[in-house]
Amino acid sequence: MDYYFYQIAAYYVNPDTDPDTGTMTRKSNLDLPQEKSDNDTHILIVDDDATVRFLMNEFMETVGYRSLMAASGEEALEKLRNESVDVVITDIMMPGMDGLELTELIRQKYNCEIIVMTGYSGDYSYEEVINKGASDFVFKPVRFEELLLRLKRVLRERFLKEKLRRLAITDDLTKLFNARHFYKQLKHETDRCGRYKHPLSLLLLDIDHFKSYNDTYGHLAGNHVLARLGETIRKTLRKMDSAYRYGGEEFTIILPETNGEEARNAARRIADAVIAEKFEPKPGTTVNITMSIGVAEYSAGEELEAFIKRADMAMFASKQSGRNRITFYSPEDFS
Ligand code: GH3
Ligand code: MG
Ligand code: MG
């Protein structure tokens, strides 16, 4: 325990002081990750030893992270239910739920990283801890300098993982979600809908005469339209809605908790926002873009394909009746 006091005392004198030698370390060693600002990174410290807990907490706050504390695995889970946490640093030997059990439970339920602390004489091996899903492992008594380096590496990897995950579900041109993610989300929403009996609606939008825009002004000008419409759509949506690039110049929007009537209003809002955008594919030429939209409300128990098909047929009807239109099809229209 003396070791902890010694270390934290050194940091209290100056956070840039090496805890072992007392000499000044390079400032960059204590710099926080670029990706998330310091007061945006949340660390949860779990240890039954109050002294360790408070010293670790002080240290985390001193170097700039947001820090939370829990005295047991059970309390840690309670904290995780209510707070968003990036990294949990947990002791392994604790009365009640131990750190390994906690690691396993966190892995099943929460998206956060875990660093496990253990004594040299601990009963657990590195392999055991990592196999349970921990991102890293430190020995007690903890050297703060080492912990900080490990923490930064874990945060960096977390950021890169998240970036890769986002890239895999995002359409590069429009910055909307891609079609693969659409099917996954729609399945998720229809399942939810079945469970909670909440309404759910789907919009399918297709740009009118886009081939002729491309043919007249070129493919790059067409790409510019797609990118800007992606932004326009994103801005028009409510927080719980999600928009996808379904195909080349087709988009879908999932509207949870939304009935057909409200979905038609949402479609109207989007159509108005799209037509208000002025494109200038060449100097002096201003062009407005329109879309044909199909609207469908989910009917309990309906197959995913049938639901999408209904929105697609409604969109097609909008095309057939002259384009720049909104058509709503209820399940009754097909019974
Ligand atoms: P309609 O009103 O019936 O929808 O007519 P349309 O011309 O929009 O429909 P059509 O399906 O005949 O043509 C779609 C066009 O969309 C043709 C294709 O070149 C263009 N397109 C699809 N993906 C992209 C893309 O990524 N970039 C560009 N610039 N154009 C694309
Ligand atoms: Mg099309
Ligand atoms: Mg089209």
Cβ–ligand 1 contact at 214 (below 6 Å): yes
332 CA distance to ligand 2 middle (Å): 26
225 CA distance to ligand 2 middle (Å): 14
| Bridge partners of residue 288, in order along the sequence | 278
Closest listed residue to residue 293, CA positions, set 317, 326, 321, 271: 326
Cβ–ligand 1 contact at 192 (below 6 Å): no
pLDDT band, very low/low/confident/very high, at 121 (cuts 50, 70, 90): low
9: number of Cβ within 10 Å: 12
Q: Which of 172, 178, 211 to mutate to test the pocket of ligand 1 (most atoms within 8 A of CB)?
A: 211
Q: 275-299: per-residue pLDDT in tens?
A: 999 999 999 999 999 999 999 999 9
| Bridge partners of residue 68, in order along the sequence | 44
CA distance linking residue 299 with residue 296, whole number of Å: 9
Taking each helix axis from N to C terminus, what angle separates 144-169 and 2-13, rounded to the nearest 10 degrees? 70
Which parts of the chain fold into alpha helices (H)? 2-13, 50-63, 73-82, 99-109, 126-131, 144-169, 179-196, 210-217, 219-236, 260-276, 304-320
Q: Which of 208, 210, 216, 291 to mutate to test the pocket of ligand 1 (most atoms within 8 A of CB)?
A: 210
Cβ–ligand 1 contact at 222 (below 6 Å): yes
pLDDT of residue 128: 87
Residue 111: is its pLDDT beyond 80? yes
Taking the alpha carbons at both ends of the chain, their separation in whole angstroms is 75
Q: Catalytic residue at 249?
A: yes
Which of these is catalytic: 249, 250, 297, 302? 249
313 CA distance to ligand 1 middle (Å): 18
Residue 16: is its pLDDT beyond 50? no
| Phi, psi (degrees; rounded to nearest 5) at 195 | -75, -45
Q: Which of 214, 219, 223, 288 to mutate to test the pocket of ligand 1 (most atoms within 8 A of CB)?
A: 214
Cβ–ligand 1 contact at 247 (below 6 Å): no
Cβ–ligand 1 contact at 198 (below 6 Å): no
pLDDT of residue 3: 40
CA distance linking residue 129 with residue 137, whole number of Å: 7
pTM of the model: 0.78
The protein residue with its alpha carbon nearest to ligand 1, atom 20, reads 211
Cβ–ligand 1 contact at 210 (below 6 Å): yes
pLDDT band, very low/low/confident/very high, at 272 (cuts 50, 70, 90): very high
CA-based max dimension of the chain: 81
| Phi, psi (degrees; rounded to nearest 5) at 175 | 65, 15
pLDDT of residue 288: 97
Cβ–ligand 1 contact at 249 (below 6 Å): yes
pLDDT of residue 36: 73
b/e per residue 122-132 (b: at least 16 CB within 10 A): bebeeebbeeb
312 CA distance to ligand 1 middle (Å): 16
